[in-house]
Structure 1
Amino acid sequence: MSVVLIAGSPGSLSRTSALIDFINKELQEQGIETDVFNVNEFDGNEVFFADFNAPQIVRYREAIAKADAVVLATPVYQASFSGALKLLLDLIPERGLKGKVVLPLANGGSDSHLLVIDYALKPVLSALGASNVLGGVYVNAKQLTLDGEKRYQVGEEASARISRSLEELIETLPSQSSASASAYQRSVAYA
């Protein structure tokens, strides 16, 4: 099983990246193969002009094509998802998310943007062929705190909600055995 994780924040140290790092660690602890793409690691010109021959874009598109699931996170900008994430989504071929389980996440400064996943992000994912888009998780900025090394940490309440969504993701994947899903449920219960 393969899961692609996409961090849609242009900042190198961001709450969005912290969410993806948290999820990546959780999935890898379960022995799930992950491939992480952070929008700030792409060459801006290659993404903006959709240079499909650029090595990073080729690798990204190949990873999406072979993935069983895609997890993406975005900061909220102007009551929607980031334009940087939209540029990465534009690199996915038409119907490129067909047959994949998709878990969207968003983080914003207040709960006023709680519905950004449903009203802004899910329609775009549907246009890319995603028919199995999970409920998603919205994380308020207060649930992500800086540690002593100036890195964001996911708070207890947010990590519990994300873990429940990951459990659903694992259960939904057709190639995932029920034994692995049960093992993940037990590890989440004891965390």
Structure 2
Amino acid sequence: MATVLALTTSPFPASRTALLAEHTAACQRVRGHHTHVLALRDRPAAPLLTADTHHASIARALRLAAEVDSPVVATPIHQAACSGLLKTFLDLLPQHAFTGKPVLPLATGGSPAHVLALDYALRPVLTALGAHVTQGRFVLDRHIMTAPDGTTALDHDDELQLGRAIEQFARTLPSHAHLTAV
């Protein structure tokens, strides 16, 4: 089965974007894929912002992102763009880090006015890295909740639409993993 990395890029500890990414990773685990969740907010800021790719934490994150079969990239939309944390991290990856890899873009935001940022702000960056960008999904923040049992719950319509995007993404995943050590 494939190895999938859910990359969460919200700078906030209590992040609905992270909940969405973790929910998506859980859906991939149910399908038998190996998953990792990487919260960029947990990486040290100074080495990330100064492009210190030799810093152990940054080097591990970059290696993981480059070695997985398929990334899921989840970002909040602020000011009609993906998070600066995501862009900073993606800028550190080699130019063709995602060549031939299916990538599922996910975005969250407070207003339906942000929905176009998925295609106009995030998709071009992922495409520049060589990704095969699958149909993504934008989810309003207010439609992502934590259920009483601690799992993530989405608005019914968003759950259906996200399920379709995840299913399409799952069909593009390789049937074997090539990641040997993380």
Q: Gapped runs of 5+ residues in structure 2?
A: 177-182
The equivalent of 2:73 in structure 1 is 72
Which residue of 1 is the match for residue 116 of structure 2?
Answer: 115
Which residue is equivalent to 2:96?
Answer: 95
Determine if contact 2:23/2:152 at 8 Å carries over to the other structure: no
Query: Partners of 2:34 and 2:82 in 1: how far apart?
Result: 26
Kindly report which structure 2 residues correspond to 1:24-39, keeping only aligned pairs within 5 A, or say none. 24-39=25-40
Distance 2:122 2:82 in 1: 7
Amino acid of the residue matched to residue 83 of structure 1? G
Greater shift, 97-106 or 165-174, is seen at 165-174
In the other structure, the counterpart of 1:135 is 135
Q: How much does 1:152 deviate?
A: 6.2
Q: Which amino acid aligns with 1:134?
A: T
Deviation at 1:126, TM superposition (A): 1.3
Matched position secondary structure for 2:53: coil
| Cα distance, 1:173 vs structure 2 | 1.9
Secondary structure in structure 2 of the residue aligned to 1:50: coil
State whether structure 2 residue 98 is matched by structure 1 residue 105: no
Partner of 2:61: 60
Letter in 2 for 1:157: D
1:7 lines up with 2:8 in the alignment = yes
User: What's the secondary structure of 1:57's corresponding residue?
Assistant: helix
The one-letter code sitting in structure 2 at the alignment partner of 1:135 is: Q
Q: What is the percent sequence identity of the aligned residues?
A: 35
Q: Matches of 1:162 and 1:33 in 2, distance apart?
A: 20
Matches of 1:14 and 1:151, distance apart in 2: 14
- Following the alignment from structure 1 to structure 2, what is the Cα–Cα distance between the partners of residues 36 and 108? 20
* Structure-2-length-normalised TM-score: 0.88
Distance in 1 (CA, whole Å) between partners of 2:143 and 2:155 is 5
Match of 1:186 in 2: none
Query: What does the per-residue CA deviation read over 1:116-150, in whole Å, with 9 as the maximum and x for residues that have no partner?
Result: 111111111111111x1012100012211355699
- Moved segments of 4+, more than 6 Å: 149-152
Aligned-CA RMSD value: 1.9
